[in-house]
Structure 1
Amino acid sequence: MFALRASARRSADAGRRLLQSTQGVRGIRIGNTEVPDDKRLTYSLQRIKGIGRSTARQMLCELQIENKPTGELSGIELESLRNEVLNYDIGHNLDKENASCIKRLVDIKSYRGIRHIDGLPCRGQRTRTNAHTRKNRGTPFAAFKMTSHR
């Protein structure tokens, strides 16, 4: 029992030393996404699904972290960045939220929900000549291709 407590104490001390270290950290994982070490923070954060250019800049301004390469982050900066990312809907949670919104539209049988069921554009685009990808047609004029050889 005593050995378990000592090992827990050592791991807590190691974590504390990592947070206080000023050396760069390699192989950074933020929000279940591997973030590149060699790119600057604004571009690295955009690799996380649900965080775009303006959100990444806003996060750095709130945390008062300069836009340096991700590999040069200190432990304290990395931990504060991870905590800030948790405040946003990202990754799988974002997908679940979007799916639930679409399911709600389908359940109440709104116009947009019916368009989702039919696989047609929902936001007023024309469908007579466009929307070939939304209608799941690979190439618009594949039926007219000449395949005979002379």
Structure 2
Amino acid sequence: MARIVGVELPGNKKCFVALTYLYGVGRTRAFEILKNTGINPDKRVKDLTDEEVSKITKFIQDHYKVEGELRTDINRNIKRLIDIGCYRGFRHKLGLPVRGQRTRSNARTRKGPRPSRIKTKKKKEQTV
């Protein structure tokens, strides 16, 4: 198993699939990384040499933000929106959809599960 940018890549996967285990690297970017480093995308991770792993690691660190650096950057941007008090920041703070989606119906992912309703049975008055 190869360790790239602090993430263990599964050894039995092909390189282009294994690179998608990194946060911020999808299939397109994985193919781009392998093309620029000159590594066959169909090669298995367990067959990579230490030199190839270091080439991939160096290329990723030089050209992209991935893993922790990307996560902190995204969180910092969201915090900035909240701090300046703009509409998008307000929506982030309330946990509602940010990009104009409707909320009357749907939006359950952002709003969370519906509050449970407790049904109360009304006791019928008995007249005797």
TM interval, short-chain normalised: 0.7 to 0.9
1:105 alignment partner, one of 81, 84, 98: 81
2:97 alignment partner, one of 116, 121, 127: 121
Moved over 4 A (4+): none
Q: Deviation at 1:143?
A: 2.9
Letter in 2 for 1:85: I
CA distance in structure 1 between the partners assigned to 2:34 and 2:70 by the alignment: 21
Do structure 1's residue 81 and structure 2's residue 39 form an aligned pair?
Answer: no
Report the equivalent of 1:96.
72
Letter in 1 for 2:45: T
TM-score norm. by structure 2 comes to 0.85
Do structure 1's residue 70 and structure 2's residue 53 form an aligned pair?
Answer: no
TM-score norm. by structure 1 comes to 0.73
CA distance in structure 2 between the partners assigned to 1:132 and 1:80 by the alignment: 43
| Shift in CA distance, 141/114, structure 1 to aligned 2, threshold 3 Å | closer
CA distance in structure 1 between the partners assigned to 2:19 and 2:39 by the alignment: 13
Number of residue pairs matched by the alignment: 117
SS of aligned partner of 2:17: helix
SS of aligned partner of 2:30: helix
Identity of aligned residues (%): 37
SS of aligned partner of 1:34: strand
